[in-house]
């Protein structure tokens, strides 16, 4: 009798909650986005902690793995954490130092080339333009032939005031965005450090809570899903970084071989942007082509041909072997995941879609194999075995 009224009650509660979610979807989605925006530093800190943990765990395996003294055990986590953050910062600083100076040089070269062209264009315009016709056309010459200086001054003052107002507004917006970004970065890094220092304790507490409130069957399924998700994300991050390094080195080597300018900088940029699946290398190639164009348009065209060939080599040989095999996801599903994820969440969606799809693919394949495998026949009863003997 107890189960007879519990099931309809649960079904009715689910229907009622579904009705509330549909009817108040606008307010509910606004509340969810507000909560996500408020918790964004914490979410970003968790993402940073997950990425740093891969490097920190590797350092911990190298840092006196057989050491049993209390000094080694107590110093392992802080030392490896500092080394992990220092390694990431050094990589970012190295890439920035390689890219920014040469990018600034190419932009300054482009400006120097454009200034004479603009001066020649200005001279030609001044030669063919009558200032009186321009003033009459703009309404600055009165009927008696005199210039309306009052109108000119009023127009100039309004233009200056409007320009200053726009500049001040832009400066205030830029300052506010910079302060907000710095605050988010500081909070995220601090939160990631807390997570990395206490990750074992946090894991035990979460497992204890899940065991308390979930049935054993649901708990085992959730743990299996989380372990598969962690494995796919770990392999994806490691494989993507390895593939980016290989692609950057191949790009730099090919540019040195064909004597393209900015070889080291473009190679580092292509490798860094290759962290974005499938489309990332094209972004770096576009910037590299622009920089080479400032030096030689013909070499920029040849560089685009070189990048197209390199991308085909990378997409058909390197990426499936390094990334595709590491996460166990066929290339067609990688492309589909990147397309859908990029359309929904942009670059972040591209980074999340591939390991999530790999997780679902692995779980679905395991379940299909389990269901399609025939169950073993039960052993014959002892009496029948004795009769056969």
Check residue 82 and give its pLDDT: 92
Residues 173-189, mean pLDDT to the nearest whole number: 84
> What is the tally of structural domains in the chain?
1
Residue 29 lies in a domain: no
Check residue 1 and give its pLDDT: 47
Residue 343 lies in a domain: yes
Residue 261 contacts residue 109 (beta carbons within 8 Å) = no
Q: Looking only at Cα atoms, what is the longest distance across the chain?
A: 131
Residue 106 lies in a domain: no
Residue 208 lies in a domain: no
Q: Work out the mean pLDDT of the chain and round it to a whole number.
A: 77
Q: 88-92, 142-146, 318-322: which has the minimum mean pLDDT?
A: 142-146
Residue 77 contacts residue 85 (beta carbons within 8 Å) = no
Residue 333 lies in a domain: yes
Range of the domain at 355: 228-368
Residue 383 lies in a domain: no
Residue 16 has pLDDT above 60, yes or no: yes
Q: 67-71, 205-209, 321-325: which has the minimum mean pLDDT?
A: 321-325
- DSSP letter at 316? I
Residue 388 has pLDDT above 60, yes or no: no
Neighbours of 197 (CB within 10 A): 14
Q: At what angle do helices 25-38 and 2-23 cross, to 10 degrees?
A: 80
Residue 332 lies in a domain: yes
Residue 266 lies in a domain: yes
């Amino acid at each position: 009798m107890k189960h007879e009224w519990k099931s309809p009650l649960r079904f009715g509660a689910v229907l009622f909650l579904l009705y509330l979610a549909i009817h108040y979807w606008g307010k509910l989605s606004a509340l969810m986005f507000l909560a996500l925006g408020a918790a964004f530093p914490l979410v970003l800190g968790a993402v940073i902690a997950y990425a740093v943990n891969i490097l920190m765990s590797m350092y911990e395996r190298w840092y006196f793995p057989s050491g049993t003294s209390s000094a080694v055990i107590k110093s392992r986590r802080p030392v490896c954490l500092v080394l992990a953050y220092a390694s990431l910062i050094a990589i970012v600083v190295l890439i920035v130092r390689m890219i920014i100076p040469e990018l600034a040089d190419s932009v300054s070269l482009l400006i120097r080339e454009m200034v004479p062209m603009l001066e020649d264009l200005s001279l030609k315009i001044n030669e063919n333009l009558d200032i009186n016709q321009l003033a009459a056309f703009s309404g600055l010459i009165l009927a008696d032939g005199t210039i309306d200086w009052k109108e000119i001054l009023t127009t100039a003052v309004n233009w200056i005031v409007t320009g200053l107002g726009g500049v001040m507004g832009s400066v205030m917006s830029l300052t506010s965005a910079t302060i907000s970004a710095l605050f988010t970065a500081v909070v995220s890094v601090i939160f990631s450090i807390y997570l990395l220092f206490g990750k074992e304790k946090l894991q035990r507490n979460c497992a204890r809570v899940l065991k308390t409130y979930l049935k054993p069957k649901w708990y085992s399924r959730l743990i299996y899903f989380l372990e598969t998700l962690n494995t796919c994300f770990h392999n994806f991050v490691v494989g993507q970084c390895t593939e980016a390094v290989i692609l950057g080195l191949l790009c730099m080597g090919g540019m040195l071989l064909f004597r393209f300018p900015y070889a080291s900088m473009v190679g580092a940029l292509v490798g860094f942007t290759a962290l974005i699946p499938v489309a990332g290398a094209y972004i770096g190639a576009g910037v590299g082509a622009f920089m080479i164009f400032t030096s030689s348009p013909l070499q920029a065209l040849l560089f685009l041909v070189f990048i197209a060939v390199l991308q085909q080599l990378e997409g058909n040989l390197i990426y499936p072997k390094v990334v595709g095999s590491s996460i166990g996801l066929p290339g067609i599903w990688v492309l589909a995941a990147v397309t859908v994820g990029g359309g929904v969440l942009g670059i972040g969606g591209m980074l999340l879609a591939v390991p999530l799809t790999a997780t679902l693919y692995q779980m679905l394949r395991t379940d299909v194999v389990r269901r399609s495998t025939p169950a073993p026949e039960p052993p014959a009863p002892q009496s029948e075995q004795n009769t056969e003997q």
